[in-house]
Amino acid sequence: MPGTPPTRYAYLGPEGTFAEAALISAVAPAEGSRIPSPGVPAALAAVRSGDADAALVPLENSVEGSVPATMDGLAEGDPLLITREVFLAPSFVLAARPGTTLSDVRSVASHPHALAQTAGRLARLLPGVVPLPATSTAEAARQVAAGEHDAAVCAPIAAERYGLTALADDVADRSGAVTRFVLVAPPGPLPAPTGNDKTSLVAVVGDRTGALLDLLREFAVREISLTRIESRPTRERLGVYSFSLDCEGHAADARVGEALAALHRVCDELRFLGSYPRADGRENRPVTPVSTDAAFGEAAGWLERVRAGHV
């Protein structure tokens, strides 16, 4: 990333969360300090206030979908830019204080996404026990260590950090689940195009027939593939929604830049969330000859000649 690199990284805390594990995988400890935050809003607020240079927060999970706190936190407030994405395959354990057995467990807590991913296994291990939500898997582990709950669904690193023992390993119902995290920072120079990038946006369209089609058309006519799109309420009134989406390509690409300009015209509001290298192991779809930067440049040059009367 151009400019001064971040040295203070906020993340969804407390210590021992999957967010911390994702941050460790992306940024070596020697590259900066890690600042645990009590929730996604707090992590984003730390960047906006200048208490942190960047924040790593969860955006979506392959089983449970998007994380509303992150989606809403990026759509509202002072602008922040995604500079990087990080993927992590979480491994869950059912952890308790030493000496606890499964028959002793009367309460179990974790983050709602973790509880959803382990609901079947928990029902078999702890029949009749109603899981309770926590702000993070590590916070649930901390609460167990403090005696507030009997067990937690958490990462092995959290169990170790808080002195817990595993009553059961690999308690996820589905193997291969992946959580996508994003590193966000204040607005600044974009990461350079790599040829295999994503661009993220939040668009608000009016309550009118064909509004969503108008939005999608700007991508389709330029052969830009969407990798994610979902709606969120704007909290104004029913019928008015924002659309959070990712597309292939970089804002520096001619076709993506042209699409962004067109969306600015047709949308009631448009928030650019960043262009950054793709990290999901997939390759962007090949660009056809008519959609290359050279083709867009030649077309723009032709139009300038027409306007100048040189036909």
Closest CA to 87 of 277, 223, 271: 277
pLDDT in tens, 156-183: 989 999 999 999 999 999 888 899 999 9
Statement: residue 1 has pLDDT above 50: no
CA 90/CA 179 separation, integer angstroms = 7
Residue whose pair of structure tokens reads 């966000």 in the numeric block = 184
Structure token digits, residue 304:
């300038």
CA 256/CA 225 separation, integer angstroms = 10
Cβ neighbours, 10 Å, residue 214: 17
Do 1-89+178-188 and 93-156 come out as alike in CATH topology? yes
The mean pLDDT of the chain is 92
CA 124/CA 104 separation, integer angstroms = 15
Statement: residue 5 has pLDDT above 80: no
For β-strands 179-185 and 8-12, DSSP reports them as unpaired
CA 259/CA 265 separation, integer angstroms = 10
Write the DSSP string, 130-178.
PPEE-SSHHHHHHHHHTTS-SEEEE-HHHHHHTT-EEEEE---SSTT--
Domain edges within the chain: 1-89+178-188, 93-156, 190-310
- The CATH architecture one would assign to domain 190-310 is 2-Layer Sandwich (3.30)
CA 89/CA 152 separation, integer angstroms = 19
CA 225/CA 248 separation, integer angstroms = 6
pLDDT in tens, 77-136: 999 999 999 999 888 999 999 999 999 999 999 999 899 999 999 999 999 999 999 988
Contact 180, 87 (CB under 8 A): yes
- State residue 80 phi and psi, 5-degree precision: -130, 155
Radius of gyration of the chain (CA): 22
Category of 71 on φ-ψ map: left (φ > 0), alpha (ψ -120 to 50) or beta: alpha
**Burial letters 247-264, b for 16+ CB under 10 A, else e:** bbbbbebbbbbbbbebbe
Statement: residue 27 has pLDDT above 80: yes
CATH topology of domain 93-156: D-Maltodextrin-Binding Protein; domain 2 (3.40.190)
CA 208/CA 262 separation, integer angstroms = 18
CA 136/CA 156 separation, integer angstroms = 14
Contact 171, 107 (CB under 8 A): no
Q: What is the pLDDT of residue 2?
A: 46
CA 112/CA 204 separation, integer angstroms = 28
pLDDT in tens, 185-218: 999 999 999 999 999 999 998 777 888 898 999 9
CA 282/CA 69 separation, integer angstroms = 27
Q: What is the pLDDT of residue 166?
A: 96
Statement: residue 237 has pLDDT above 70: no
CA 87/CA 111 separation, integer angstroms = 18
Closest CA to 183 of 111, 87, 110: 87
CATH topology of domain 1-89+178-188: D-Maltodextrin-Binding Protein; domain 2 (3.40.190)
